[in-house]
Structure 1
């Protein structure tokens, strides 16, 4: 039988095809190309992980996370800010089509569509090409996602009021005595929901920093206030004259201190 381009193979359907069972081949058959999982490969993984862990710990020591005041559930005016990797979602909730009555769109529908597209990616693009230019569906979806995340993150950072953010989280102390029965029975019940647990400001103004006299506080409590910053209800029908006087005297004595007492 001649060999060459004219060689023809003829199969016989009566002969059963026999395949040797596929067994895992020993790694020693491929010297220099593979290695044992334990301890060789696993040791390298541990070493790389340890290097990144030590680097991360050094970074946290050199640049510690900024601390803010203790969380106050009575402070309804505090505006939380997510970490940088969630700023794009935070920004989306500011747009008119994803906030207010349409908040469900920004909070559920848009993230749900993004996660759903990620889960369906293998079916949306079944191409086997590795060149990104030959995979327009996957490339387009990825570029769109990166563009939206980058733009929304930039816009959130550029237009956020960082001074107000820093001020609302600033750690401040006052000479407030939370064991005082006037605070526990009157001030905590009627004032802290708007002015914060330390009365340093919330949805209502700061009552510690301004130099408020007893007469000023008493007039506000009795008659309420209405200004550009909001409104305060009058308490003259809810509190007795004696209770209003006690609250006014307590607040008029508040002042900032360098440290908690």
Structure 2
């Protein structure tokens, strides 16, 4: 190591940073004592697994980018007809929680107990199954548990989806993301950028908004679902009251208030409980019958 520019200064080397060429080749380990094992885990096996993971991830990214995520309507807490569904990889747990022994008073068993046992067994598997044999047909206990888990998860997933589709058909419900996509396509086909509003909702207006019965409407239970503007909630299949007089007369509207219609129960007693009298309800029905185009 030199400290100056003198030509006669002694140079002392403290180390050699040059990479030395190896004269001997690496000899692969002998795995003959381990049936089925032919290479070291790090880096050979791990590198191949990483490459497979990259290919799978790229395939998932291509699928995600090729198909847009389905979007439904904005969240509506008053919509009681929607059937909530989890993503497909949680369908088996969704179906499991429908059974009486994993729901109700047993819900802790279904949400914590069963998943805890399954994932706990998965974590303990490497410590419990320490045999050197890798062929599945020579590991009966581990293989039986694996096949039993696959069969159970597959059955619960398929059965959950079949039950969901059966509910849609029996209740005549179209999933929101499909309905919205149909509306967007219909609107785009007619030259619009999105779903068109029904002509009745655009043309009809509130008749006699200054009528005293209009203030009775604001106090009634009708307000909660049909809204202060009488437009209803089309996404939840709650019809608008604008133009309702073209479909029903006063007597029919009184009958609907008393007996209900479709999914709506009778509202007569509920309105009495809110402070409306029988005469007020009669005036309200008369005012609603005037709501015509």
Q: Which runs of 5+ in 2 are unaligned?
A: 1-21, 29-38, 184-196
Superimposed CA distance per residue, residues 183-229 of structure 1 (whole angstroms, 9 cap, x where no aligned partner): 98867863279xxx953475xx64359985363445433x25388x5
Aligned equivalents of 1:85 and 1:77: distance in 2? 24
2:256 aligned to which of 192, 206, 220: 220
- Give the aligned partner of residue 239 of structure 2: 207
How far did residue 148 of structure 1 move? 0.3
1:97-116 alignment to 2 at 5 Å? Answer: 97-116=101-120
Superimposed CA distance per residue, residues 7-34 of structure 1 (whole angstroms, 9 cap, x where no aligned partner): xxxxxxxxxxxxxxxxxxx9x9549999
- Give the aligned partner of residue 69 of structure 1: 73
1:167 aligned to which of 161, 165, 174: 174
Aligned equivalents of 2:119 and 2:225: distance in 1? 44
Number of matched residues? 213
- Give the aligned partner of residue 236 of structure 1: 271
Matched, 1:87 2:91: yes
How far did residue 156 of structure 1 move? 1.6
SS of match in other structure, 2:271: coil
2:284 aligned to which of 245, 248, 260: 245
Aligned partners of 1:133 and 1:139 also within 8 Å? yes
Matched, 1:191 2:225: yes
User: Relative to structure 1, is the Cα distance of residues 232 and 104 closer, same or farther in structure 2, using a 3 angstrom cutoff?
Assistant: farther
**Coordinate RMSD, CA, aligned:** 5.0
TM superposition score normalised by structure 1: 0.57
Aligned equivalents of 1:147 and 1:135: distance in 2? 18
Aligned partners of 2:91 and 2:157 also within 8 Å? yes
Aligned partners of 2:225 and 2:238 also within 8 Å? no
How far did residue 126 of structure 1 move? 2.8
Q: Which runs of 5+ in 1 are unaligned?
A: 1-25, 255-261
Aligned equivalents of 2:103 and 2:53: distance in 1? 44
Matched, 1:155 2:159: yes
1:142 aligned to which of 111, 132, 146: 146
How far did residue 149 of structure 1 move? 0.5
How far did residue 62 of structure 1 move? 3.7
- Give the aligned partner of residue 126 of structure 1: 130
User: Relative to structure 1, is the Cα distance of residues 45 and 151 closer, same or farther in structure 2, using a 3 angstrom cutoff?
Assistant: closer
- Larger CA Rg, structure 1 vs 2: 2
User: Relative to structure 1, is the Cα distance of residues 242 and 99 closer, same or farther in structure 2, using a 3 angstrom cutoff?
Assistant: same
- Give the aligned partner of residue 117 of structure 1: 121
TM superposition score normalised by structure 2: 0.52
Aligned equivalents of 2:119 and 2:102: distance in 1? 17
Aligned equivalents of 2:235 and 2:67: distance in 1? 29
How far did residue 46 of structure 1 move? 8.4
